[in-house]
Structure 1
Amino acid sequence: MKRFKKELYEGLIHFRDRHQFELKSEFKRVSNLDTIQYTQEFYLFIPNSLGINRQTYSKNQFYRDQTNFIRYKTPEFDLLNLIEPSNSRSPFQRLNKLRTADQNLQSKEAVNDEVKLLGNIIRSAIRKRVRPLVHHLETATLDNDDPTLNQQILSLTHEIRSTQDAFAKLKRTFLDHWQDQELRQHFSHVDEFVCRAVDYHLTGLLKFVKHAHMLSLRPAERAIEDLILQQHPYQPTDDCSDKDERFCYRKGLLNKFVLDALLLSTSRHHMADTYLSVINIVAAAVAMLFFFLGFVWQGNIFIVNSAPFIAVTVFLYVIKDRMKEGIKSIYHQQASRWFPDYKTEIRTPSGSHRVGTHKETFAFIEPGRQPKDIARIRNREFHNVLETYKRPEKIMYYKSEVDLNSTLAKAGARRFNLNTIFRLNIHRFLEKSSDTHTPYTTLDEESHSLQEIMLPKVYHINIIVRSSYTASDNQLHSNLRKFRLVINKDGIQRVEQIFQK
């Protein structure tokens, strides 16, 4: 239930699997600003016992383990507002207009885009409705029974039924006009995607309803169960074994198919390599200038073809060669100070308009270089003795900067804000970790016999995230959040949210 709950919220770190954690963030455009910059800084405090440092974990390894996924944020609609005939922004109404449009390639592409966008919107709207209900169910008790909670859940099931009925009607009437087999398949794929989304979110909600043990929620519980069972044509059958991989594989394909409506065109460049050819030219020119001046100088001192002349010429050539390589080496060492590691151009799917840029920087930093507010938050939530204890750990620093072009946010547009998902695989962190359990011998108080027990062995990776942005008041706003990964040899055991400011 904890994992389901965390997936309902943005801005919280949760583990994707036993080796990966992720953070989903939303970046909004501001109408009165042409460009707005969002900055996220990650400080990861790694115990020294895991052996992660500059020598064992390179910048290239970090970027191989890290993933950044950038897309449009799903447009926000309420379920009832989505099927409202007067809502011209709704994909339902736009598809109704396209139903009678000329059946050409341009119209077909617009239909594909709208039906995929509709699937994303329905899933997002269901998640938005389930989120407060889960929070309400967590805080509800037998002594504090809210009579409106049952009605709220019944309203949700009614809205989902109405939305699915509206989609079924749209699919039927649309395909009566468009005799296109590919579009028929696309509508069926989105229908299956919506059914799976309904099943997932309502099953998660049902767990919280049953856990509440409230008699007043029995009607809501039955309504949820009936609606879940209606989605079962797309669910695993009883004869599916635990080795049947088709269900999850198909689920992944459906997610990618529908998500296509929110994808952006991105192009990532290594900034140091971008200027490498220029640096090579400059290094060669400087070294050659030194050699030429030295060659001219010695020509005035020594006789041409004499032994000293030849020896000095060879020496100058060696110095020239080393000078060129030295300049390039200095550039590589200092490039991280001058440029970000990577720069990603974000453009609209057609590539015709620039949405913004994303810059990334990674480094290990010394404890003395961390900001004071970060160090202060790092030292919280410890025993008062341990707060002053200098913990043996390394600090990984990752900075993500997103610059958004707000001028593209046209009036009536539905896709303009962005979502990013930062994901990090920690499998390399576990290579030098101890076994999941360690033996401990203790003396029994009654029998005075020695007993050996196996105690779990875990490590804590503390993560502090600072998010900064410019709001509509032109003021810089920032917030700090602290998370803790509890890991062992098998991977991530849980994620704890420790602090938020």
Structure 2
Amino acid sequence: MVLGLPHRPPLELERKRDGKRPRIHVHATARDLPSTEWGSLLGDLTRARPTMTAADVEWRVHDKTHLEFAIDYPFGADTTQYKWEAYFFVPDSFRVAQTTYDKRQIYDDLLSYVRLAVPEIPYEELARDCDSADVDSWTERLRMTLVAARGEADGSAAARAAIRRARVFACMVRASGLDAQRAMLDACDEADDVAEAVVASNRFSAASKRIATSYRRLLEDGEDMDLAEEVLVALRWVDEDISLFSEALFATASIHLHEKSGQKWAELASRLAADAVEEARYRRTQDYPSVGAEDASPRLVEHIEFRRHMLKRFTSSVLWLSHEVRDAATWIVHALYAIAAAIAMAFAVWATLRATQMQEMLAIIVLVTSYAVKDRLKAILQMYLARWAERRFADRAWSIKDTERNERLGVVSERAGFRDFRKLPQGVLAARTLTREHALEEFARPETVLWHEKHVALEPREEGALPSPMMTEIFRLNIGSWLAHTDDPTRTITFADPDEAVVCSVNARRVYNLNVVYRLNRGEDGTAPWRRIRVVVSRKGIERIDPIV
């Protein structure tokens, strides 16, 4: 029994294992299974790269039918305005058109998730901060929060504040640790000799151990502070999450270096593997249910992945924001419908007054006809007025709130729909036609243009709030329904080789190009350049993403 929680029965038969020398047994390399999911263990919590500007958007393949992209909205000293525009050039063979794909379907397939970015701090600086006794250091602030929660009951404000700060600390470790691992691996790849790589690896390993050791000392102190049960459980979950994350960083780095040729590279990879094994052994001493084994059964592997995902969601959810979405033009549309009804009714009244001056049979004909005209006139006016409103007003309005801290961050207005290719902005057309051989290609590869626009107004951060540099919006576009009408992914083609004087018959992949032209403007100046990517898809799903401009 740990912290009042019932001990869970083991999923597999446990065996005593003697300590063994760490080695690398690769079941799947990092290239075989890239981490492409924002919510994965190696998910990017601080997504911006040093080479990225505020207008850059990162695109990734989430899975075969989902395309992900993330937009960063930095906070300002005052209310900051942003405008996002994207044009999706969809091949006509997908049969995505205004008559078959309405706004409800657009928004169902284009999901949006919003979160805060964690405060930016380099990994080694975070390690020095953890070693420091300065009252402004992150670990000391967490310690003071725990002290304030002494003797408080579960669910109290002090207990929840302590849990929240521990979760933010885990997010900071995850974000800065991943950036540090990438920098270390880049340094290893660019190193002239292994000695330089060893220096970079040792610095990364030392920083990771200093951060973990500092937090574990804090955890030991917290267990003697008379804290609420939920606080103690949260502290242990954060400890387990940091250990799992560190193990993953060490393990993936060791696999990456193991693929290099040479005995010295193999020795360096083994050192990182030893660090990963050390984290696994630590969790076993703490009786954490997330320790793997080389001969693990599929059920145990499934449990470990479930545990990783649960802990990651527990810690990172402190950053997620809620958004209340409502129809933005509802009252405007109803007002226009009322105008249409009034005009139709006015016509009916006029026709009725005229009918009273006619003979009885003719009056009946006029009244019936006027009623039919009035009914159709109302419907036609409503249709045209709705289209007029659709071009001028937003479809949806958002209110973005941080429920963890009871704070409102901003408002969003959103529009989507179809656009005529010939009426697109010149910058969009220039980016789209950049790679075309001739304008005649429009007849060979006709496209439907799907358009998405957002206006975002962010409030400045309040005093004492989480010092987050930006808000990040993650979109997930489902193109599964778009692929239903595509051709088979492979077909047999024949051609002649003029040099070898032979005829060839080969299997060719049938792919389609989904082009996206987009930009993000700060304010309303519209000076940001248009960018473009090409998403190559087949009937099987998304194949790759090619940046164009």
TM-score interval, normalised by the smaller of the two chains: 0.7 to 0.9
2:60 to 10, 14, 33: 14
- Please give the TM-score of this superposition, normalised by the length of structure 2: 0.79
1:420 to 473, 476, 501: 473
- Check conservation: 1:137, 1:208, Cα contact below 8 A: no
- Check conservation: 2:490, 2:509, Cα contact below 8 A: yes
2:237 to 157, 173, 189: 189
One-letter code aligned to 1:196: L
Q: CA RMSD in A?
A: 3.1
- Check conservation: 2:513, 2:534, Cα contact below 8 A: yes
2:434 aligned counterpart, secondary structure: coil
One-letter code aligned to 1:330: Y
One-letter code aligned to 1:85: S
1:389 to 420, 436, 441: 441
1:61 aligned counterpart, secondary structure: helix
Q: Does 1:480 align with 2:530?
A: yes
By how many angstroms is 1:81 displaced?
Answer: 4.5
By how many angstroms is 1:209 displaced?
Answer: 2.5
Q: Does 1:263 align with 2:307?
A: no
- Check conservation: 2:336, 2:386, Cα contact below 8 A: no
- 278-287 vs 68-77, which deviates more? 278-287
Q: Does 1:100 align with 2:144?
A: no
In the other structure, the counterpart of 2:74 is 28
1:128 to 170, 179, 187: 179
Count of residues in correspondence between the two structures: 485
By how many angstroms is 1:162 displaced?
Answer: 1.0
- Check conservation: 1:99, 1:178, Cα contact below 8 A: no
1:261 aligned counterpart, secondary structure: coil
- 335-344 vs 15-24, which deviates more? 335-344
Q: Does 1:77 align with 2:124?
A: no
Q: Does 1:201 align with 2:249?
A: yes
One-letter code aligned to 1:160: S
Q: Encode CA deviations 1:433-455: one digit per residue, 9 max, x unaligned.
A: 22221112456899988664322
1:178 aligned counterpart, secondary structure: coil
In the other structure, the counterpart of 2:9 is none
- Please give the TM-score of this superposition, normalised by the length of structure 1: 0.86
Aligned partners of 2:395 and 2:495: how far apart in 1?
Answer: 52
Any residues of structure 2 matched to 1:46-445 within 5 Å, and which?
46-78=90-122, 79-86=126-133, 88=135, 90-101=137-148, 102-104=150-152, 105-138=156-189, 140=190, 144-145=192-193, 147-213=195-261, 220-232=268-280, 233=283, 234-242=290-298, 245-299=302-356, 301-302=357-358, 306-349=360-403, 353-381=407-435, 385=437, 389-390=441-442, 391-406=445-460, 408-410=461-463, 413-415=466-468, 417-441=470-494
Gaps of 5+ in 2: 1-29, 38-42, 49-56, 284-289
Change (3 A) 1:335 1:238: farther
Change (3 A) 1:134 1:294: farther
1:487 aligned counterpart, secondary structure: strand
In the other structure, the counterpart of 2:14 is none
Aligned partners of 2:76 and 2:264: how far apart in 1?
Answer: 44
In the other structure, the counterpart of 2:5 is none
1:284 aligned counterpart, secondary structure: helix
- 206-215 vs 13-22, which deviates more? 206-215
One-letter code aligned to 2:426: K
One-letter code aligned to 1:109: R
By how many angstroms is 1:427 displaced?
Answer: 0.7
- Check conservation: 2:59, 2:68, Cα contact below 8 A: yes
Gaps of 5+ in 1: none
Change (3 A) 1:442 1:323: closer
| Identical residues among aligned pairs (%) | 20
Change (3 A) 1:250 1:270: farther
Q: Encode CA deviations 1:342-373: one digit per residue, 9 max, x unaligned.
A: 22111231685431122222222222222222
Aligned partners of 1:443 and 1:326: how far apart in 2?
Answer: 59
- 109-118 vs 211-220, which deviates more? 211-220
2:530 aligned counterpart, secondary structure: strand
1:359 aligned counterpart, secondary structure: strand
- Check conservation: 2:188, 2:196, Cα contact below 8 A: no
Aligned partners of 1:475 and 1:201: how far apart in 2?
Answer: 42
Change (3 A) 1:62 1:204: farther
In the other structure, the counterpart of 2:13 is none
Q: Encode CA deviations 1:247-272: one digit per residue, 9 max, x unaligned.
A: 33333322322122112231001223
Change (3 A) 1:392 1:410: same
Aligned partners of 2:251 and 2:439: how far apart in 1?
Answer: 43
In the other structure, the counterpart of 1:494 is 544
